[in-house]
Structure 1
Amino acid sequence: MQWRKHFTGVAFSLVFVVSYFTNKFVLSVLKFTYPTLFQGWQTFIGAVLLLLSGKLGWLEMSRVTRSAALYWLPGSLLFVGNIYAGSKALSHIDIPYFFTLQNSSHVVSSVISTVVHREKVQRLTFISLCFMLLSAINLPHYDPQFDYSGYLWAVGHLFCVGAYRVLQVRYKPNNLSDLELQCINYLFSVLLLAIAAHPTGDLMGALEFPSLMSYTFHCGCCASALLGFLLLLATVKLKSGFSLEHFEVWIFISKVTAMSLSPFVFNMDVNAPSLICVVVSHVAEALLLYSEREPQLGRG
């Protein structure tokens, strides 16, 4: 029934918003800026819960072969880059600005698809991508709390997100479901982040972290890991019940909701030019979603 589909979308949005707010709280308010450990913890819990749910028959998951895991190795590397750089960027950048920069990943995806796969870009799509890029380029000049390292990590994050999006659409193995693909990502992430924890200095820094034994810190980390797993389940459920276009609309709604609520939860310095960048970027994203639906509406 239609109301059940909308309920799934609302549930996805709720988990999306709370998940980002929890991560932002741990990274910025508690200042736990050790991404190898923070993301390693999240992916470890995600992998354990996925494998356990599959073993108990709660989720439909098949055994992943070694060849399939090796084939998806580039995707897993991009996934690690996505969560690592995203974690570093989110710790320094406010949520509305973070999403404004993240929108530029559509530009990366479009460039890759155009250059590698010779896809033609529609005029409306090109216009929306230009506005997203212009908003992201101008935002650092107007951000009252500009942080160079945060924006540098955001650039790495959006490149990984854009490349991963193309890889997921073009090169995803047909014999692997979204859950199995994410399980590979989780297991590879745990391995790589565990190896990187000591060379990056995150392990020693975390041992000296002032709030390490804090009840609030433990609750925040546990909540972030559980919410990450729930967001994965909500994403898979939403994808199975909606077309890709409708799924992207729900992501857009979730981001706008998170941006609208974030000033009431976190301290933010906002001025008119930076707010214009945020608004223009997300109006352009709405235009991009419309341009992707337009051919299908025309055929209908």
Structure 2
Amino acid sequence: MISLFIFVQKTSPAKICSVLFLLAAAGCLPFNDSQFDPDGYFWAVIHLSCVGAYRILQKSQKPNTLSDIDQQYLNYIFSVVLLAFASHPTGDLFSVLDFPFLYFYRFHGSCCASGFLGFFLMFSTVKLKSLMAPGQCAAWIFFAKVITAGLSILLFDMILTSATVGCLLLGGLGEALLVFSEQKRV
């Protein structure tokens, strides 16, 4: 969608519908979340803004001299620095000491596992992109997202309502349409 407005690129109707479904699902989810926490959504908006800015910067540079791995490293470093500086004015820097699970080994183990698994997922995604056609790669990434969403519903203590499930299904439909538009493009 960014490329449609900023770089005036031709975009397929399937891709536009996909983005609209994803935006509708993301926009409706906070209003239908029975465990709503504004801090979580605040940081999600910050993350999405950073990713969007990074994508715009990435598309605006004509000669891309950095490899995919180097781009990911720069993205991670930029995110850590930005979030470290953003945590002080929001008060999250000092409220971390009041976190109830701060001294539990399961919490620290889960954080480390999440970091390692995220790194290996990023690394395997970069390798997948270099070995497969874009449509096939998009299909595998979609499959990974479906498995992740399904496991997160099982592993985390969530209260599912019909509206929440609708938002999740609408987001899944948007992702599936994105994969379809990628395969039609190739």
TM-score calculated relative to the size of structure 2: 0.78
Q: Is the 8 A contact 2:26 2:167 kept in 1?
A: yes
Of the three residues 165, 182, 193, the one matched with 2:72 is 182
* 2-structure distance, mates of 1:209, 1:141: 25
Code of the residue aligned with 1:123 in structure 2: it is: P
* 2-structure distance, mates of 1:198, 1:131: 35
Of the three residues 231, 244, 247, the one matched with 2:137 is 247
* 1-structure distance, mates of 2:14, 2:40: 31
Q: Deviations over 1:10-53 (max 9, x none)?
A: xxxxxxxxxxxxxxxxxxxxxxxxxxxxxxxxxxxxxxxxxxxx
Q: 1:150 to 1:234 in 2, by over 3 A?
A: same
Code of the residue aligned with 2:125 in structure 1: it is: T
Of the three residues 3, 7, 14, the one matched with 1:124 is 14
- Partner-residue secondary structure (3-state), 2:10: coil
Of the three residues 155, 173, 176, the one matched with 1:265 is 155
Q: Deviations over 1:72-108 (max 9, x none)?
A: xxxxxxxxxxxxxxxxxxxxxxxxxxxxxxxxxxxxx
Q: State the partner residue of 2:45.
A: 155
Q: State the partner residue of 1:57.
A: none
Q: State the partner residue of 2:184.
A: 294
- Partner-residue secondary structure (3-state), 2:65: coil
Q: State the partner residue of 1:229.
A: 119
- Partner-residue secondary structure (3-state), 2:157: coil
Q: 1:231 to 1:120 in 2, by over 3 A?
A: same
Q: Which moved more, 1:253-262 or 1:159-168?
A: 159-168
Q: 1:116 to 1:215 in 2, by over 3 A?
A: closer
Code of the residue aligned with 1:118 in structure 2: it is: V
By how many angstroms is 1:251 displaced? 1.7
By how many angstroms is 1:233 displaced? 1.9
* 1-structure distance, mates of 2:110, 2:75: 23
Q: How many residues align?
A: 186
By how many angstroms is 1:252 displaced? 1.2
By how many angstroms is 1:266 displaced? 1.4
- Partner-residue secondary structure (3-state), 2:146: helix
Q: State the partner residue of 2:24.
A: 134
Q: Deviations over 1:167-201 (max 9, x none)?
A: 43453753211222233334444555555565554
Code of the residue aligned with 1:171 in structure 2: it is: Q
- Taking only the aligned residue pairs, the percentage that are identical comes to 47
* 1-structure distance, mates of 2:9, 2:174: 20
* 1-structure distance, mates of 2:97, 2:116: 23
TM-score calculated relative to the size of structure 1: 0.52
Structure 1: unaligned runs, 5 residues or longer: 1-109
By how many angstroms is 1:253 displaced? 0.9
Code of the residue aligned with 1:183 in structure 2: it is: Y
By how many angstroms is 1:160 displaced? 3.1
